[in-house]
Chain A
Amino acid sequence: NAGVTQTPKFQVLKTGQSMTLQCAQDMNHEYMSWYRQDPGMGLRLIHYSVGAGITDQGEVPNGYNVSRSTTEDFPLRLLSAAPSQTSVYFCASSYSRGTVTDTQYFGPGTRLTVL
């Protein structure tokens, strides 16, 4: 199993550009989520999904869109990049649907810089 994979590993954008961060898992996990990690802020939840076709907002959803058309994939879209979105983005997945008591498996992260 590859586990949770994320692409790209690094990305530089200009203000106003859009892009999609890719996340895929091959563990047949129902629950997937996106976090951003900023210095002194820990990890903050952006969006999450409890199964294909179901998504919901986390703590900091503004400026981001998600969709979940398959169990395996959970892309994160930045609609119009802003410098405040400079961060490290982590995708995570877990087996359970409707709870977060199970172990979360994290991808290696995408380091995004918005100029």
Chain B
Amino acid sequence: GDSVTQMEGPVTLSEEAFLTINCTYTATGYPSLFWYVQYPGEGLQLLLKATKADDKGSNKGFEATYRKETTSFHLEKGSVQVSDSAVYFCALGGATNKLIFGTGTLLAVQP
């Protein structure tokens, strides 16, 4: 079945460091791919998405490119801030009416 694998955390970075959180997927057909973010004590909210191969989603300085050849959707940001500290979830949405989430990656940014 469909699945998402993302790197385990926690990821600890200093402010202004470069961020990469890896995400790979297994799916039949042509899924949509998402990154959701969960700030402490809150529900999840959409960070960015891509609906077809080679699409790049971007928001708040974060970006991710839908790579069909490597079945990947890695999240990147050039310069992280303390306010980016959160849990990041990669997710896959296919034709089955079900959104499949990865296990989440905790990002801690230190000043």
Residue numbers of A with Cβ under 8 A of B are 4, 31, 33, 35, 40-45, 48, 50, 56, 58-59, 90, 92, 98-101, 103-104, 106-109
Query: How far apart sit A43 and B51, CA to CA, in the bound complex (Å)?
Result: 21
- Taking a contact as CB atoms under 8 Å apart, the answer to whether A42 and B104 are in contact is yes
B 74-111 binary contact with A (CB < 8 Å = 1; else 0): 00000000000000010001110111111110000000
A-B contact count (CB 8 A): 56
Complex CA distance for A50 and B95, rounded to whole angstroms: 13
Category for how many chain B residues contact A: 20 to 34
Determine the residue in chain B with the shortest Cβ distance to A94. B99
Residue from B32, B43, B89, B94 with most neighbouring chain A CB atoms (10 Å): B43
The 10 A-B pairs of least Cβ separation, nearest first, read A100-B93, A106-B43, A42-B103, A101-B32, A43-B101, A42-B101, A106-B44, A100-B99, A103-B46, A108-B43
Contact across chains for A43 and B97 when beta carbons are under 8 A apart: no
Of B44, B45, B89, chain A has the most CB atoms within 10 Å of the CB of B44
Residues of B within 8 A of A42 (CB): 89, 101-104
* A92 to B32 Cα, complex, angstroms: 17
User: Contacts of A99 on B, CB cut-off 8 Å?
Assistant: 93, 95, 97
A48 to B96 CA separation, bound complex (whole angstroms): 11
Q: Is B69 an interface residue (CB 8 A)?
A: no
9 A–B contacts, CB within 8 A, in A order: A43-B89, A43-B101, A100-B97, A100-B99, A101-B32, A104-B36, A104-B44, A106-B43, A109-B43
Distance between Cα atoms of A101 and B97 in the complex (Å): 9
Closest Cβ of chain B to A22, distance in Å, is 15
B33 to chain A minimum Cβ distance, whole angstroms, is 10
CB-based contact B49/A103 at 8 Å: yes
Contact of B44 among A44, A58, A90 (CB under 8 A): A90
